[in-house]
């Protein structure tokens, strides 16, 4: 309902047009009744002038009807499209606000299905739903009032058929709605499976597992067919039940009306008009029946839309959050405890440490110790359960999220490049960056030379997820992004671990240049890359086991030396 507010005037006009078309439809039985009455009671009163006048008046009404219907079909559908567009915009915007924990458990293909498929039917639903029910309401009320003026007992008999009809159709409606919900869910699963298979096509082909992927798809596709086939069964029952009640209503009118006419309780003209009114009434019922599928599709899409929109983002700005101004880059963890979910164990427990502004700190240790988690907590991708994280003595919960993340640059192992040009991917680091700034950032990242060797230079299309570039090239573009952003705090999460030795050397030089003068936290498995760090934290499941420079930790002859010796002996 809130989405109609912007288009109230269009909706009011649409419903007025719907009322006009309905009144035009109702007038025909009354015209026929009047003519039939004159023929049977006073044939002389049925003059040529009267017939032409009635015909002209009715033709004028049909012209009004045509204009009103045009407005409904045009402006009404445009309104429905605008509502669908507004809903899709709000859904996408809400997905952008949701926390990382939501995406840890979500399937991207399913979310894409909700943004696209689920809202396709909203246009028709938003336009026709109020219109169809409004028209049906007018017809039923008008038909009841007018038919009561003809014959009250016959009208009551006819309308007694409607309640059991509604009950029967409601039962099937619920089944259809449930079926459409299952359909939507399954098509989302199917989309997710297709996306998963196509994004991993290199893995599929490298293992020659095309047949396995075909089998997986066939299973999901068959399940979708079974759900849809079952739904069509209920839709068939819905339609056939409607047809049965239509026939039953007609036979009640014919039999009961004939008996009333034989006894003189209704005249032939009223009986003919009565049949026409019942026909109009049943046309309205039939339209509602035909609209039922569209209605359920729309309702299912809207329900699934609100399942996401009603998901409350867990990480939002606090009420009095302030902008994080210029910072030096001092970072402090105070008694931080964190777990990814209620069911999981603590990843960090009562952890405390301080990193000075401009200091270069490396995090090393076994997988699962919490190194990447630390890097995810600083920009508030996740919320700490206990304790606090401070930048320049300001709790990150007390500052606006966007201003916090604006001060942090992140380079990860898994580089994501958007489908587009090299230039647009570097420019992602700074809105409205000039081409000169983009080139400068690329030069600082050691990417300019290889970019210029590409077929179209900075305008070269990088492909889906940057598939046309090598790992080292993608990584240097991601570093150029951060150079362009120019943040005081830098998080390097295993930025070189997926690269070959030659690419690693080039990227490492770029990273050293990037980290100059910035507070830098590096997560590394390749221990040779962090020898020059000011401090190294050795992190395991018990927290920070050791701390010091490379030289100090080697001299301690502890966990770090074991790690380093094992790594350098490989």
Give the 3-state secondary structure of 335-348.
Answer: EEEECCCCCCCCCE
Report if residue 108 sits inside a domain: yes
Contact 242, 169 (CB under 8 A): yes
Report if residue 30 sits inside a domain: no
Owner of token pair 């002389």: 44
Are 268 and 338 in the same domain? no
Q: Show the tokens assigned to 567.
A: 């790594």
Are 113 and 218 in the same domain? yes
71 Cβ neighbours under 8 A, 6+ residues apart: 13, 14, 17
Q: In whole angstroms, what is the distance from residue 475 CA to residue 413 CA? A: 8
Closest by alpha carbon to 77, among 85, 65, 87?
85
Are 343 and 205 in the same domain? no
Are 168 and 264 in the same domain? yes
Per-residue pLDDT of the chain (570 residues; tens, 9 = 90+): 888 899 999 999 999 999 898 888 888 777 877 787 777 777 777 788 888 888 888 889 889 989 999 998 899 889 988 998 999 999 999 998 888 888 888 888 788 888 887 788 788 888 888 888 888 888 888 888 888 888 888 888 888 888 888 788 778 878 888 888 888 788 878 888 887 787 777 677 767 778 888 888 898 889 889 888 888 888 888 888 888 888 888 888 888 888 888 888 888 878 888 888 887 777 777 777 667 777 877 888 888 888 889 988 888 888 888 998 888 999 999 999 999 887 778 889 999 999 999 999 999 888 888 888 999 999 999 999 999 999 999 999 999 998 999 999 888 877 888 888 999 989 988 888 899 999 998 888 888 988 999 889 999 998 777 778 888 888 888 888 888 888 899 998 877 766 667 777 777 788 788 888 889 998 887 777 788 889 999 998 888 888 999 888 888 888 888 887 876 654
Are 292 and 393 in the same domain? no
Report if residue 82 sits inside a domain: no
On the CB side of 407, how many CA atoms lie within 13 Å of its CA?
24
Are 104 and 247 in the same domain? yes
φ, ψ for residue 537, nearest 5 deg: -100, 125
Domain range for 119 is 89-309
Strand-strand pairing, 489-493 and 519-523: parallel
**Given 252, 275, 309, which residue is the final one in a domain?**
309
- What CATH number does residue 234 fall under? 1.20.1560.10
- What CATH number does residue 463 fall under? 3.40.50.300
Contact 355, 521 (CB under 8 A): yes
330 Cβ neighbours under 8 A, 6+ residues apart: 354, 355, 356, 357, 390, 391, 392, 393, 519
Are 495 and 559 in the same domain? yes
Are 290 and 373 in the same domain? no
Report if residue 104 sits inside a domain: yes
Are 178 and 300 in the same domain? yes
Are 251 and 341 in the same domain? no
Report if residue 517 sits inside a domain: yes
Report if residue 17 sits inside a domain: no
**Given 254, 277, 309, which residue is the final one in a domain?**
309
Report if residue 539 sits inside a domain: yes
Report if residue 321 sits inside a domain: no
Are 254 and 387 in the same domain? no
CA 80 to chain centre: 18
Neighbour tally for 487: CB within 10 Å? 20
Q: In whole angstroms, what is the distance from residue 352 CA to residue 386 CA? A: 12
Are 109 and 210 in the same domain? yes
Domain count, the chain: 2
């Amino acid at each position: 309902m809130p989405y109609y507010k912007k288009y109230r005037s269009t909706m009011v006009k649409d419903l007025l047009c719907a009322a006009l078309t309905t009144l035009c439809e109702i007038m025909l039985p009354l015209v026929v009744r009047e003519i039939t009455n004159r023929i049977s009671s006073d044939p002389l009163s049925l003059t040529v002038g009267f017939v032409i006048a009635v015909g002209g008046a009715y033709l004028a009404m049909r012209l009004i009807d045509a204009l009103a219907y045009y407005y409904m079909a045009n402006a009404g559908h445009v309104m429905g499209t605008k509502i669908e567009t507004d809903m899709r915009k709000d859904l996408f915007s809400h997905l952008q606000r949701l926390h990382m924990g939501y995406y840890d458990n979500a399937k991207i293909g399913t979310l894409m299905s909700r943004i696209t498929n689920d809202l396709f039917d909203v246009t028709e639903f938003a336009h026709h739903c109020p219109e169809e029910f409004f028209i049906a309401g007018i017809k039923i009320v008008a038909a009841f009032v007018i038919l009561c003026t003809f014959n009250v007992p016959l009208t009551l008999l006819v309308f007694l058929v409607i309640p059991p009809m509604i009950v029967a159709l409601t039962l099937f409606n619920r089944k259809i709605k449930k079926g459409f919900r299952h359909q939507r869910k399954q098509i989302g699963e199917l989309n997710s499976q297709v996306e998963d298979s196509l994004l991993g096509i290199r893995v599929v082909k490298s293992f020659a597992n095309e047949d396995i992927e075909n089998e997986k798809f066939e299973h999901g596709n068959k399940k979708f067919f079974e759900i849809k086939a079952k739904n069509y069964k209920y839709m068939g029952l819905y339609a056939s039940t409607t047809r049965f009640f239509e026939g039953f209503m007609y036979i009640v009118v014919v039999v009961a009306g004939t008996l009333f006419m034989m006894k003189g309780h209704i005249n032939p003209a009223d009986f003919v008009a009565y049949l026409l009114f019942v026909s109009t009434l049943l046309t309205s019922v039939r339209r509602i029946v035909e609209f039922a599928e569209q209605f359920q599709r729309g309702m299912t899409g809207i329900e699934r839309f609100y399942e996401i929109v009603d998901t409350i983002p867990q990480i939002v700005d606090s009420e009095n959050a302030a902008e994080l101004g210029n910072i030096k880059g001092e970072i402090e963890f105070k008694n931080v405890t964190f777990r990814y979910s209620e069911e999981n164990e603590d990843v960090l427990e009562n952890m405390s440490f301080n990193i000075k502004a401009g200091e270069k700190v490396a995090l090393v240790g076994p997988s699962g110790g919490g190194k990447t988690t630390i890097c995810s907590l600083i920009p508030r991708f996740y919320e700490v359960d206990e304790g606090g994280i401070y930048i320049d003595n300001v709790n990150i919960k007390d500052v606006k999220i966007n201003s916090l993340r604006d001060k942090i640059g992140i380079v990860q192992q898994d580089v994501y490049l958007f489908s587009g040009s090299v230039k647009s991917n570097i420019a992602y680091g700074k809105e409205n960056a000039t081409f000169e700034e983009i080139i400068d950032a690329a030069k600082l990242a050691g990417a300019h030379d290889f970019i210029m060797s590409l077929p179209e230079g900075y305008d070269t299309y990088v492909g889906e997820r940057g598939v046309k570039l090598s790992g080292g090239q993608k990584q240097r573009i991601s570093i150029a992004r951060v150079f362009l952003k120019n943040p005081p705090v830098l998080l390097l999460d295993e930025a070189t671990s997926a690269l070959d030795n030659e690419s690693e050397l080039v990227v490492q030089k770029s990273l050293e240049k990037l980290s100059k003068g910035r507070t830098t936290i590096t997560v590394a498995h390749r221990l040779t890359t962090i020898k020059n760090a000011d401090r190294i934290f050795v992190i395991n499941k018990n927290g920070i086991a050791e701390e010091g420079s490379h030289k100090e930790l080697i001299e301690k002859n502890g966990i770090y030396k074991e790690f380093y010796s094992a790594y350098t002996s490989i």
